[in-house]
């Protein structure tokens, strides 16, 4: 997608798309899915949903991967005890899903595994299956975290909010 196409999507995208696709009920379900999954491993999962980027930022070259990296820092996903925080970032206007993993988990999980989760979610979103796409994506992230950072008998503190953040 060219910068001009991205600019047009971000300028003329629906202002209300986030609320239409991510109802309060779905956000509650996503919160529960994150919380339940985190009981199985020592990782932390954070979800950020953004309707669109600022037009000037797009003109200056900001894209979804860069914005996801910014959100990773802004939401302090990097600041977990085991360096195993994972950000699932959704940019509605550009139909982009990015996963940013902290160094503790990134050294264990290949990029193609993260990409497969993004592709699976995007395919669901295209058909309007927002709920299924989100819950399946969250579950897939939990599978990877459980494989590499399994839980133990003592409860791990919840270091990040389980509720999706609307940026």
Domains of the chain: 3-166 (3.10.310.50)
Tokens of 56: 């000037």
User: Mean per-residue pLDDT for 72-93?
Assistant: 94
Cβ count within 10 A of residue 92 = 20
* Alpha carbons 64 and 73: distance in angstroms, whole number: 14
pLDDT of residue 153: 54
pTM reported for the whole predicted model? 0.92
CB-facing half-sphere around the CA of 149: CA atoms within 13 A: 28
* Alpha carbons 53 and 126: distance in angstroms, whole number: 20
What string of DSSP letters covers 95-136? Answer: TEEEEEE-HHHHTTS-HHHHHHHHHHHHHHHHTT-HHHHHHH
* Alpha carbons 160 and 60: distance in angstroms, whole number: 31
Report how far apart, in Å, the C-alpha atoms of 67 and of each of 23, 41, 74, 75, 160 are: 23, 27, 10, 12, 19
Q: Which of 27-36, 109-118, 138-147, 150-159 has the lowest mean pLDDT?
A: 150-159
Q: Do 42 and 98 meet the contact criterion of CB atoms below 8 Å apart? A: no
Report pLDDT digits (tens) over 23-73. Answer: 999 999 999 999 999 999 999 999 999 999 999 999 999 999 999 999 999
Q: Do 85 and 78 meet the contact criterion of CB atoms below 8 Å apart? A: yes
Q: Are strands 96-101 and 85-91 parallel, antiparallel or unpaired?
A: antiparallel
Burial profile 10-40: b = 16 or more Cβ within 10 angstroms, e = fewer: beebeeeebeebbeeeebeebbebbeebbee
**Strand order across the 85-91 sheet:** 96-101, 85-91, 44-50, 165-166
Instruction: Provide the pLDDT confidence category of residue 120 given band limits of 50, 70 and 90.
Output: very high
């Amino acid at each position: 997608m060219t910068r001009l196409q991205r600019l047009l999507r971000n300028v003329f995208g629906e202002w209300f798309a986030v609320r239409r696709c991510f109802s309060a009920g779905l956000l509650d379900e996503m919160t529960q899915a994150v919380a339940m999954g985190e009981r199985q491993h020592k990782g932390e999962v954070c979800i950020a949903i953004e309707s669109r980027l600022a037009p000037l930022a797009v003109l200056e070259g900001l894209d979804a991967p860069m914005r996801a990296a910014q959100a990773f820092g802004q939401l302090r996903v990097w600041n977990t005890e085991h360096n195993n925080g994972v950000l699932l970032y959704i940019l509605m206007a550009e139909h982009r899903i990015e996963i940013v993993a902290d160094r503790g988990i990134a050294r264990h999980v290949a990029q193609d595994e993260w990409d497969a989760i993004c592709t699976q979610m995007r395919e669901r979103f295209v058909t309007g299956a927002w709920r299924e796409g989100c819950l399946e994506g969250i579950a897939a992230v939990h599978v990877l975290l459980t494989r590499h950072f399994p839980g133990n008998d003592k409860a791990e503190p919840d270091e990040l909010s389980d509720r999706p953040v609307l940026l």
